[in-house]
Amino acid sequence: MTDNLKFYINGEWVDPVTPKTLDVINPATEEPLGKISLGSQADVDKAVAAAKAAFESYSQTSIDERKALLGKIIEGIKARIGDLAETISQEMGAPIALSKAAQAPSGIGHFMSTLAALDSFEFEEDLGNSRVVKEPIGVVGMITPWNWPINQIACKVAPALAAGCTMVLKPSEIAPMNAIIFAEILHDAGVPAGVFNLVNGDGPTVGAAISSHEDVDMVSFTGSTRAGVEVAKNAAPGVKRVAQELGGKSANIVLPDADLAKAVKQGVYAVMGNSGQSCNAPTRMFVPVDKHGEAAEVAKATAANVKAGDPFAEGTTIGPVVSEVQFNKIQDLIQKGIEEGAELLAGGAGRPEGVNKGYYVRPTVFAGVDNDMTIAREEIFGPVLSILPYETEEQAIEMANDTEYGLSGYVQSGDIEHARKVARQLRTGMVHLNGAGVDNQAPFGGYKKSGNGREFGIYGLEEFLESKSVIGYGD
């Protein structure tokens, strides 16, 4: 048991104004692994005041000073990478191999891509008789999720620091311990007091206090679409900028000229990774109707190789989902798929065989899914794949776009030009061709109810800047 009951405010670890604690649950054991404090409006007020005071000086630091600071943070993350990986696996259930290979190192990746962006970014440019100046937006409230915790913290904090902003972070109360390590890293790297502040708490209290605070100039939120709507409502009276990365229901179009077996295997593993808890997971796989049977067999065989188990055990492919609430939601949606007539190829309701403890979900694949079924419409956020047959390419594209979400799309083809052509017709913020992974330099974000704004690299940096026109500058 590890208790982390203090908040990081104005460069110090301080007690909450009003003591109130929450157990952090290990999803593999269903037992507490430690406690955190839940903050209040008063704690947020203290953190925002510190950030506002620090903005005056930090916003005037040079680009070279900020680059040096980012470099020190990168070294700090490297030094604590083992602690971060182990903590993430304990509190949100990712297999330790995934935590070591991707979850924890993702923080380094975002700081490095931001550092690269600073090398080429133009903070001033001349247009006619005017000078256009890019300046830090001010105090930023950050609300981050539990599924890729350090990834989502770093892709906000790194560009905000690079832009010259100050900030208040509320990490997910479900997986908060990694954020405490992150705050220690920033402190040791010499981030000036008040520039970065951490207040733990829940969404309805601390999240709402941050998004509605009159001295917060911008809110950067990653989470569910439902919660994102509430953040936007709370922020609206202050007319503050809101950047949101929300839910997804991404389509994976396997074209007739693709290597079917390779594409299907790749698609299954992409959905199952991280126990299906990735907003950009390709959970709707579209296959030609005359290849539906073959695709179903490949998917079934691939799912059989996905092993749900102890995150720290050798050979585990996926760990538990993060919480009992998440487990129950996924179970309900799997049952809904069965009731609505989808063909259950693998997995199904309940825990994997031989498992009676922990929030483990059976790797599940449905075939013969209609695009109007619940499992094809709602974001499940679990290891559940739906295979949908299509007759023509036009129909596949139409069904892929027939969703309220628009985060990612995937296209598989033996002809790259063909894949590119289809990609241009998808109404999504990102499209992955033939299994290409996420690119930290390219903009990350979505259309429609998948959010607004973009993260990563130069595009993430721009989110935290205001444009000022100095007219008559050339006179």
pLDDT at residue 89 in the model: 98
In a domain, 38, yes or no: yes
Same domain as 425, residue 308: yes
pLDDT at residue 474 in the model: 78
pLDDT at 32 over 70: yes
472 vs 216: CA distance, rounded Å: 31
N- to C-terminal Cα separation, the chain: 66
In a domain, 132, yes or no: yes
167 vs 284: CA distance, rounded Å: 37
Please report, for the domain that includes residue 346, its CATH number.
3.40.309.10
Same domain as 357, residue 292: yes
**Helices (H) and strands (E) in the chain — how many of each?**
16, 23
pLDDT at 379 over 80: yes
**Structure tokens, 91:** 């509190």
Same domain as 238, residue 267: no
Same domain as 128, residue 173: yes
Name the residue among 304, 296, 362, 368 with its Cα closest to residue 333. Answer: 362
Token pair 């090398």 is at which residue? 119
Q: pTM for this one?
A: 0.97
Please report, for the domain that includes residue 27, its CATH number.
3.40.605.10
pLDDT at residue 2 in the model: 82
Same domain as 192, residue 91: yes
Same domain as 404, residue 458: no
**Structure tokens, 400:** 């892929």
Same domain as 369, residue 265: yes
In a domain, 445, yes or no: no
Mean pLDDT value of segment 450-469: 97
Token pair 């094809």 is at which residue? 376
Same domain as 255, residue 242: no
pLDDT in tens, 272-322: 999 999 999 999 999 999 999 999 999 999 999 999 999 999 999 999 999
216 vs 41: CA distance, rounded Å: 13
Average pLDDT, the chain: 97
In a domain, 444, yes or no: no
Same domain as 419, residue 303: yes
For residue 433, give its domain range: 251-439
pLDDT at residue 354 in the model: 85
In a domain, 272, yes or no: yes
Name the residue among 167, 201, 197 with its Cα closest to residue 40. Answer: 201
In a domain, 93, yes or no: yes
**Structure tokens, 307:** 């092993």
In a domain, 381, yes or no: yes
Our count of domains for the chain comes to 2
Same domain as 348, residue 236: no
pLDDT at 385 over 80: yes
Mean pLDDT value of segment 134-150: 98
Q: How confident is the model at residue 475 (pLDDT cuts 50, 70, 90)?
A: confident
**Structure tokens, 401:** 């776009």
The answer to whether residues 93 and 275 touch, using CB atoms and an 8 Å cutoff, is yes
Same domain as 265, residue 229: no
Q: How confident is the model at residue 1 (pLDDT cuts 50, 70, 90)?
A: low
The answer to whether residues 342 and 375 touch, using CB atoms and an 8 Å cutoff, is yes
The answer to whether residues 15 and 6 touch, using CB atoms and an 8 Å cutoff, is yes
Same domain as 358, residue 394: yes
Active-site positions read: 245, 279
In a domain, 32, yes or no: yes
Q: What angle do CA 195, 180, 63 make, to 5 degrees?
A: 30
304 vs 406: CA distance, rounded Å: 30
pLDDT at 106 over 70: yes
Indicate the angle between helix axes 149-163 and 177-189, nearest 10 degrees: 30
Instruction: Tell me the residue ranges of DSSP E strands in 171-302.
Output: 196-198, 218-222, 241-245, 251-254, 284-288
